[in-house]
Amino acid sequence: MHIEFLLEEPSAEAFLSDFVPKIAPAGTTCNFIRFQGKSDLLANLTNRLKGYRDWLPEDWRIVVLIDEDRQDCVKLKEALDSAAGAAGLKTKSKAGTGAFVVLNRIAVEELEAWFLGDVEALREAYPGVPAGLGSRANFRDPDAVAGGTWEALERVLQRAGHFPGGIGKIELARTMAQHLEPGRNRSRSFRCFVDGIAALSPASR
């Protein structure tokens, strides 16, 4: 199987290129296409998907991943599904138990929430992060961290003695990809992503 990933930023590629082999079927190949931010991805998604429509091999899938960024998650997902529909490609959401080609997934509110969802991985990668971080009121639900997920994670890591000059998002993404364990992550949007990847197979087409 081959997966084409359509992404909004380099840090997503840095994370997925190392993490996806942990959860995809053995032998899966991947290609990562980065847009110039979320607005660029949304504006050009239908045309990009139309470009695949007429020649997509049977064992290819397309995964679109973007950050929620405090938008209405339902409306954002509808926009992604509508783009695929306009391109003539069926999404997992619209196919139900039937065949699909496109998997649309949203990191709520952004990729860093997935890192906060696995405190053990954070502690392995960045010693000094409190063991009880996940039980604190502000961090119990990593998809609903108040005041911005990226900013909250930066404060946590800086208090632990890391990234004094500010988080390097690509470095962070690559490091966390090595440590995240799919089965223990508390982020619902992360678990939806993992389950979606697991559903990608030639039989799902």
How much is the pLDDT for 147?
Answer: 82
How much is the pLDDT for 160?
Answer: 97
CATH class of this structure's domain 2-110+188-204: alpha beta
How much is the pLDDT for 204?
Answer: 45
How much is the pLDDT for 99?
Answer: 78
How much is the pLDDT for 205?
Answer: 43
Domain with CATH 3.40.50 in the chain: 2-110+188-204
How much is the pLDDT for 94?
Answer: 77
pLDDT digit string (tens) for the chain, length 205 residues: 999 999 999 999 999 999 999 999 889 999 999 999 999 999 999 999 999 998 999 999 999 999 998 889 999 999 999 999 999 999 988 776 667 899 999 999 999 999 999 999 999 999 999 999 999 999 999 999 988 899 999 999 999 999 999 999 999 999 999 999 999 999 999 999 999 999 987 554 4
The predicted model scores a pTM of 0.94
Q: Are 181 and 120 in contact (CB under 8 A)?
A: yes
